[in-house]
Amino acid sequence: MRPSIFLSGATAALLLARPTHAQTTKRLSEEQYLTLGRHYTEWFFAGRADSLLAHMSPESRDATGGAAGILSQRDLVSARAGKETLLLEEKMTWRKGMPQFWHEAMFTNLTEPVVVRWVMDSQGAIVGIGLGPRSQTPDVDAAPPKD
């Protein structure tokens, strides 16, 4: 397997981060998660790091390196993948029991799709980020956890 062309060490660590608070509150609806994920993706590519930081857990803010870290990851994606040319799919999945929004698209510099993943807590706060080629995207859970 070739190394990921997008993930930095900090971002990889963030993917494994789990929220420190217990998730005792009712989860958002799938549509609410989809809406948040679309906003997060739009903000990421528009360079609106402040908006993303406002929706991140404190651990995620630290792991990303703040606004500079988010902008650095966005610039890395742009430099390596180019510009998004075709949205293939946006969907909700689950990874290790956590809701995860997927934005899968084609970009000008790559022949395979790139997936931007936002892992969220029960209330939609960002607790993990994943960026990379579809072939390197980790497996998802077969079904969401039972309420």
Domain residue limits, the chain: 9-14+28-136
Cα(40)–Cα(77) distance, rounded to whole angstroms?
15
pLDDT in tens, 8-55: 444 443 444 444 444 456 889 999 999 999 999 999 999 999 999 999
Q: What mean pLDDT is predicted for residues 46-72?
A: 94
**pLDDT bracket for residue 86 (50, 70, 90):** very high
Give yes or no for residue 1 having a pLDDT over 50: no
| pLDDT at position 56 | 95
Q: How far apart are CA 86 and CA 105, in angstroms?
A: 5
Question: What's the CA dihedral at 49, 52, 58, 64 to 10 degrees?
Answer: -50
Instruction: Spell out the residues 6+ positions from residue 138 whose beta carbon is closer than 8 angstroms to its own.
Output: 95, 130
pLDDT digits (tens, 9 = 90+) for 97-140: 899 999 999 999 999 999 999 999 999 999 999 999 999 988 88
Q: What is the CATH number of domain 9-14+28-136?
A: 3.10.450
Under a CB-based contact definition with an 8 Å cutoff, are residues 69 and 53 in contact? Answer: no
